[in-house]
Amino acid sequence: MLLVEIMKKKKKIGYVNINEKLLQNISESFPNIIFYNIRKSKHKIYDIVLHNDLIDAEEKALYEIFNTYLVNVDNSSYKNIIDQINTGLRRDRCLSSDQIMYINVVNKFQYINEKIEKLVGDEKSHSLKVAYLAKVFCDKTGMSEERKLQLYMAGLMHDIGKMYIDPKILCKKGKLTEEEYDEVKIHPIKSYEILKGYLPEGVLLLIRDHHKRENNSGYPMNEEASSEWGKILGLFDSYDAMISKRIYNKPLTKSDGINELLLCT
């Protein structure tokens, strides 16, 4: 019973890609903390994340949007690292009810995106990049925090329904048959169904409609009006798909990807 009580008092902390010896030393300095290896299950949201300079902008945005305290261990003295962790532990982490809801979704489902991305040979996380583009768009256009969180979460979870697609189809090199393409087209609805009850309907509709187009083409085919924001999310999705290296395609340059979007408009 005493052991259970002690464990309850421990605080959670995450880390990414830091030296094991350094982590051991830090753990000894903080016996009241449980350290979670988020290198093995990346992109979970903890109160504090230790990292080095290799963390990229998309990954950093994931942590920052949920008020995670980031501690950079590169070029820092051991004392400075300890001081930074103590600062993070003392701070009051302010989270809205929506942020808490979204954190629970990330921690529960993001591993599925990672499996899908690994399967198709995505060298960098597609879901993180689409979400990042949504965040940058909202920051540049002065969108509300509520809208930014909605678009960010939709970007993060838009492809989770691909877990229902045959891996041979997902990884196929060359043109899909009509039957194979029909199977691919189920993924927005499947994403909607998986996340129903976990996300607000407004976010679910963004996810459902991210392959619908301005002329009401695309998929899923239904008579309901498509979400304007869903079509914007589709731009981010299409752009990143074009410039990303996958098993089945060669990436375009960023400028060529932008030109392709302009041609489609």
Q: What is the pLDDT of residues 154-165, one digit of tens each?
A: 999 999 999 999
pLDDT of residue 223: 56
pLDDT band at 212 (very low <50, low <70, confident <90, very high): confident
pLDDT digit string, tens, across residues 214-243: 666 777 776 565 667 888 898 898 888 888
What is the chain's mean pLDDT, rounded?
87
Task: Look at residue 61 and tell me whether its pLDDT is greater than 90.
Answer: yes
| Alpha carbon distances (Å) from 124 to 55, 118, 222, 227, 254 | 12, 9, 33, 28, 15
- Which domains are seen in the chain, by residue range? 2-90 (3.40.50.2300), 97-264 (1.10.3210.10)
- Which value, in Å, is the radius of gyration of the alpha carbons in the chain? 20
- CA pair distance 231, 88, nearest whole angstrom: 38
* More confident call, 50 vs 2: 50
Task: Look at residue 248 and tell me whether its pLDDT is greater than 90.
Answer: no
pLDDT of residue 215: 65
* CB 49 within 8 Å of CB 81: no
